[in-house]
């Protein structure tokens, strides 16, 4: 051999890793609140959990996630400072749905080659989003994988832990017949369905740099729009509405699987949430997907959020207050539908048979009739929510139940989508 072998010649540059840490350190420190113990760079991140002593029965909630193939678009555009917010949205907003307040988050980056500025940009994005939701970023790992990943390739993942007192936990057990189902608008595609997105780009031959009149910006800018963060507004709802009969009963984070599948996870067996597709105008990016990829509405429903990023199930008496809290946070909100009794419907039969597939509504139970005819609830849009001047699309009524392996209730989607 002409030279001695070391870690750097094997492809791992520890000096570059140290440089990346220096570049991201200030952003990480800004996420640290009074609970954080120790400084950045220790073997373990720590937080002071003394606040748990004041709880009757503290429950820890945890979530781990990534951002899927949206990363491929960030890499193609060489824009790396927004994907971190997507990660925080996917992770932290999954623990707030049980009523948990975030205590800490950690991240993991695997890459083919450490480019300090790129890695620091990713982590700064994570840190800035953590700062927005008051969740300390207490640790992370950047792993260089030469020979396993291409030099320009990377992937990211994160994990978060939160806490909720048992008597403040929300979920299916609190949902009651007559509850209002409230939608909180998404900022766009968020971080799900990007394998379908990339296929549409391929089929249509669309360039990420091309201008799109529907978006008022480039296609790439629209597709990279960061995931909206809901943690703060959801916690405001918990604090303001409470969790008792008239309060906040459940939250559903609309991620992979779409609105129906995710909402059904928080509806108890024997009940059904109705969804009026005509109660909002579907953002342009989803119609662009449908038109350019010849994607059916059913396929869009099964994979994308279609403009609804979070759903709150609340007592009817607090529905207006719930929407006002969202508006105060700069988030559009409106009534999607209501919770009704399923009365031995197809929802219960599907659960009994162990099926997790959606059923097209047919004549029969009140749930099926609701899907076919539309809910009786008055779908009043919140202030500023535009539903006029839109063309109506067509879509069949559907009944979705038992999604993602959860033994739960059903969601009946009816009506036609409004598109701009």
| Burial of residue 223 (number of CB atoms within 10 Å: 0-12, 13-18, 19+) | buried
More confident residue, 358 or 11: 11
> What confidence tens digit (pLDDT) does each residue in 251-299 have?
999 999 999 999 999 999 999 999 999 999 999 999 999 999 999 999 9
So what's the pLDDT on residue 384? 37
Answer whether residue 42 shows pLDDT above 80. no
Domain ranges, ordered by start, for the chain: 14-41+55-166, 172-419
Architecture of domain 14-41+55-166 in this structure: 2-Layer Sandwich (3.30)
Q: Which two tokens stand for residue 237?
A: 């709802």
**CA-based torsion, 389, 393, 398, 403: positive or negative:** negative
User: 131 in the Ramachandran plot: left (φ > 0), alpha (ψ -120 to 50) or beta?
Assistant: alpha
So what's the pLDDT on residue 309? 98
Q: How far apart are the first and last CA of the chain?
A: 66
- Three-state DSSP at 358 gives coil
CA angle 93, 192, 61 (to 5 degrees): 25
So what's the pLDDT on residue 5? 83
Q: What is the mean pLDDT of residues 54-68?
A: 97
Q: Any alpha helices (H) in 135-275, and if so which ranges?
A: 194-204, 219-223, 231-241, 258-264
Highest mean pLDDT among 8-22, 206-220, 370-384: 206-220
- Say which range, 13-17, 66-70, 117-121, 321-325, has the weakest mean pLDDT: 13-17
Question: What number of other Cβ atoms are within 10 A of residue 416's Cβ?
Answer: 16
- Three-state DSSP at 107 gives strand
Residue 376 banded pLDDT, cuts 50, 70, 90:
very low
> What confidence tens digit (pLDDT) does each residue in 98-128 have?
999 999 999 999 999 999 999 999 999 999 9
So what's the pLDDT on residue 389? 40
Tell me the fold of 172-419. Phosphoribosyl-aminoimidazole Synthetase; Chain A, domain 2 (3.90.650)
Residue 61 banded pLDDT, cuts 50, 70, 90:
very high
So what's the pLDDT on residue 40? 76
> What confidence tens digit (pLDDT) does each residue in 154-171 have?
999 999 999 999 999 999
So what's the pLDDT on residue 355? 36
So what's the pLDDT on residue 388? 41
Are 143 and 109 within 8 A, CB to CB? Answer: yes
Starting from the edge strand earliest in sequence, which strands make up the sheet with 418-419, in order?
281-282, 418-419, 391-392
- Fold agreement between 14-41+55-166 and 172-419: no
Residue 362 banded pLDDT, cuts 50, 70, 90:
very low
């Amino acid at each position: 051999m002409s030279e001695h072998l070391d870690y750097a010649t094997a492809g791992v540059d520890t000096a570059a890793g140290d440089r990346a840490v220096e570049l991201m350190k200030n952003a990480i420190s800004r996420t640290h609140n009074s609970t954080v113990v120790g400084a950045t760079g220790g073997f373990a991140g720590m937080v002071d959990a003394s606040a748990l002593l004041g709880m009757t029965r503290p429950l820890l909630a945890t979530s781990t996630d990534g951002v899927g193939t949206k990363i491929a678009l960030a890499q193609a555009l060489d824009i790396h400072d927004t994907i971190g917010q997507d990660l925080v949205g996917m992770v932290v907003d999954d623990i707030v749905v049980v009523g948990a307040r975030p205590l800490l988050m950690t991240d993991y980056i695997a890459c083919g080659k450490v480019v300090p500025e790129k890695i620091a940009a990713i982590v700064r994005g994570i840190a800035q989003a953590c700062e927005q939701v008051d969740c300390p970023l207490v640790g992370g790992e950047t792993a260089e994988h030469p020979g396993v990943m291409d030099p320009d390739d990377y992937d990211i993942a994160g994990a978060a832990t939160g806490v909720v007192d048992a008597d403040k936990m929300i979920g299916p057990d609190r949902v009651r017949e007559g509850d209002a189902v409230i939608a909180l608008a998404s900022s766009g595609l968020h971080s799900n369905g990007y394998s379908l997105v990339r296929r549409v780009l391929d089929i249509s031959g669309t360039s990420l740099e091309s201008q799109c009149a529907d978006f008022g910006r480039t296609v790439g800018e629209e597709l990279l729009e960061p995931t909206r963060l809901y943690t703060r507004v959801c916690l405001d709802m918990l604090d303001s509405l409470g969790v008792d009969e008239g309060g906040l009963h459940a939250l559903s984070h609309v991620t992979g699987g779409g609105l129906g599948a995710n909402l059904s996870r928080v509806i108890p067996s024997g009940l059904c949430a109705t969804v009026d597709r005509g109660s909002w105008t579907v953002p342009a990016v989803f119609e662009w997907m449908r038109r350019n990829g010849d994607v059916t509405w059913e396929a869009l429903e099964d994979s994308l959020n279609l403009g609804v990023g979070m759903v709150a199930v609340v007592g009817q008496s607090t529905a207006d207050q719930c929407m006002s809290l969202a508006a105060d946070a700069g988030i559009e909100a409106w009534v999607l539908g209501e919770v009704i009794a399923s009365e031995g419907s197809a929802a219960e039969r599907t659960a009994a048979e162990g099926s997790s597939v959606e059923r097209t509504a047919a004549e029969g139970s009140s749930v099926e009739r609701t899907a076919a005819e539309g809910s009786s609830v008055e779908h009043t849009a919140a202030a500023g929510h535009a539903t006029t001047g839109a063309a109506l699309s067509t879509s069949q009524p559907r009944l979705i139940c038992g999604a993602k392996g959860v033994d739960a209730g059903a969601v009946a989607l009816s009506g036609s989508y409004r598109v701009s």
